[in-house]
């Protein structure tokens, strides 16, 4: 009977776990729908902002018909990449499959590769999972952002932008890279490592966004009041919108990965319950058979006596 009690306890535990995983799947599915809507709303805006900024920052012929000229801006300066910051976006919680492990393995691989090339690498981490992973490996964490996922909005992205741009403007960093999971579907997330600064060329921006819009490179632009004033507004806007988009992509990817993981866990729990129930019935049948054999044996012994 002790074996039967143990099996009943395991069945009860599996059923409780199944209730939890099913509830987590439903919550993730509901939140994923809202996250997808936010991504669809911000993607065209983020792509167009990057395109316009790349066009404004590119060299143009000046009004006097001279050769190409460019506008100086501290955030558009290009330097040899000797000091690099990777902005790694992870989640605060687990139970989301390979969401965190895939992004962290990619970040560590980039770290080791750059170090082998003689580049000084630092990290800015969003999410407790990334913080703990990198600290255990002795990674140089310049900044850890906490509480981002509790209220994700443009203000949060603006605060992150100020923190990561300060060392870049001071010349302490030569390049900033975003490392995050781009949302494809509930079952598919793609690890992306793309430069935030220095800014991509207009051709590079176009190549990244061909699916959104075809960009006519022969189009003429008139800048009003002037390119310098536009850059003062466009550069901060580009940073904030790009960071917000990466955060939203990561949030949707996390919810999709958690929904998929909880769906698999729910199915596995159902299979385990089915198997344990079968084991329980077999053990119960064996116990009843043993008891019957003992009763019959005792009766036969009494009869012979």
Rounded to an integer, the average pLDDT of 204-229 is 55
Among the CATH numbers 2.40.50.140, 1.10.287.80, 3.30.70.1170, 1.10.10.10, which is that of 2-25+263-304? 1.10.287.80
pLDDT of residue 200: 62
List helix spans (H) across 170-226.
Answer: 202-208
Percentage, residues of the chain above pLDDT 70: 85
Contact 106, 191 (CB under 8 A): yes
pTM to 2 decimal places: 0.80
Q: How confident is the model at residue 296 (pLDDT cuts 50, 70, 90)?
A: confident
Contact 124, 86 (CB under 8 A): yes
Among the CATH numbers 3.40.1380.10, 3.40.50.720, 2.60.120.470, 3.40.50.2020, which is that of 27-260? 3.40.1380.10
pLDDT of residue 157: 92
Stretch among 21-30, 55-64, 91-100 having the lowest mean pLDDT: 55-64
Domain with CATH 3.40.1380.10 in the chain: 27-260
Contact 54, 200 (CB under 8 A): yes
Rounded to an integer, the average pLDDT of 31-60 is 83
Query: Residue 57: enclosing H or E segment and its boundaries?
Result: helix 2-57
pLDDT of residue 64: 41
Q: Is 257 a catalytic residue?
A: no
Tokens of 224: 């009003």
Q: How confident is the model at residue 286 (pLDDT cuts 50, 70, 90)?
A: confident
Among 166, 10, 142, 201, smallest CA distance to 75 is for 166
| Average pLDDT over the chain, rounded to an integer | 84
Rounded to an integer, the average pLDDT of 135-150 is 92
pLDDT of residue 72: 63
Rounded to an integer, the average pLDDT of 210-229 is 57
Active-site pick, 96, 104, 125, 252: 96
pLDDT of residue 301: 79
pLDDT digits over 206-218, tens only?
444 444 444 444 4
pLDDT digits over 47-91, tens only?
888 888 877 777 655 444 433 445 566 677 778 889 999 999 999
Contact 192, 180 (CB under 8 A): yes
Q: To 10 degrees, the CA torsion angle through 290, 291, 292, 294?
A: 90
Stretch among 63-67, 104-108, 203-207 having the lowest mean pLDDT: 63-67
Among 105, 111, 103, smallest CA distance to 127 is for 103
Q: Please, which residues have CB within 8 angstroms of residue 196's CB and are 6 or more apart in sequence? A: 87, 164, 176, 177, 178, 239, 242, 243
298 burial (CB, 10 Å; 0-12 / 13-18 / 19+) is exposed
Q: What distances in angstroms separate CA 279 from CA 2, 217, 270, 274, 284, one per listed residue?
A: 14, 70, 14, 9, 8
pLDDT of residue 226: 72
Percentage, residues of the chain above pLDDT 90: 50
pLDDT digits over 233-250, tens only?
888 888 889 999 999 999
Domain with CATH 1.10.287.80 in the chain: 2-25+263-304
């Amino acid at each position: 009977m002790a074996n039967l009690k143990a099996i009943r306890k395991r069945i009860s535990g599996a059923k409780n776990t199944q209730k939890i995983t099913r509830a987590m799947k439903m919550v993730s599915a509901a939140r994923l729908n809202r996250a997808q809507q936010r991504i669809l709303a911000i993607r065209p805006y983020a792509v167009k902002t990057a395109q316009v900024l790349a066009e404004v920052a590119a060299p143009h012929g000046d009004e006097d018909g001279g050769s190409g000229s460019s506008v100086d801006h501290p955030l558009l300066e290009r330097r040899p990449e000797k000091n690099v910051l990777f902005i790694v976006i992870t989640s605060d919680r687990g139970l989301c499959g390979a969401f965190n492990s895939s992004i962290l393995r990619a970040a560590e691989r980039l770290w080791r590769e750059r170090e082998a090339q003689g580049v000084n690498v630092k990290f800015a981490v969003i999410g407790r999972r990334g913080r703990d992973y990198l600290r255990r490996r002795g990674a140089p964490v310049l900044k850890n952002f906490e509480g981002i996922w509790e209220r994700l909005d443009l203000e949060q992205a603006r605060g992150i932008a100020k923190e990561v741009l300060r060392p870049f403007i001071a010349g302490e960093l030569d390049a900033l890279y975003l490392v995050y999971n781009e949302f494809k579907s509930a079952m598919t997330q793609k690890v992306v490592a793309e430069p935030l600064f220095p800014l991509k060329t207009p051709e590079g921006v176009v190549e990244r966004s061909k699916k959104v819009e075809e960009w006519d490179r022969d189009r003429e632009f008139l800048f009003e009041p002037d390119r310098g004033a536009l850059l003062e507004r466009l550069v901060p806007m580009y940073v904030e919108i790009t960071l917000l988009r990466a955060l939203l992509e990561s949030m949707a990817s996390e919810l999709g990965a958690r929904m998929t993981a909880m769906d698999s866990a729910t199915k596995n729990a159902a299979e385990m319950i089915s198997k344990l129930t079968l084991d329980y019935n077999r053990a119960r049948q064996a116990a009843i058979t043993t008891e019957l054999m003992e009763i019959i044996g005792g009766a036969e012994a009494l009869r012979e006596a």
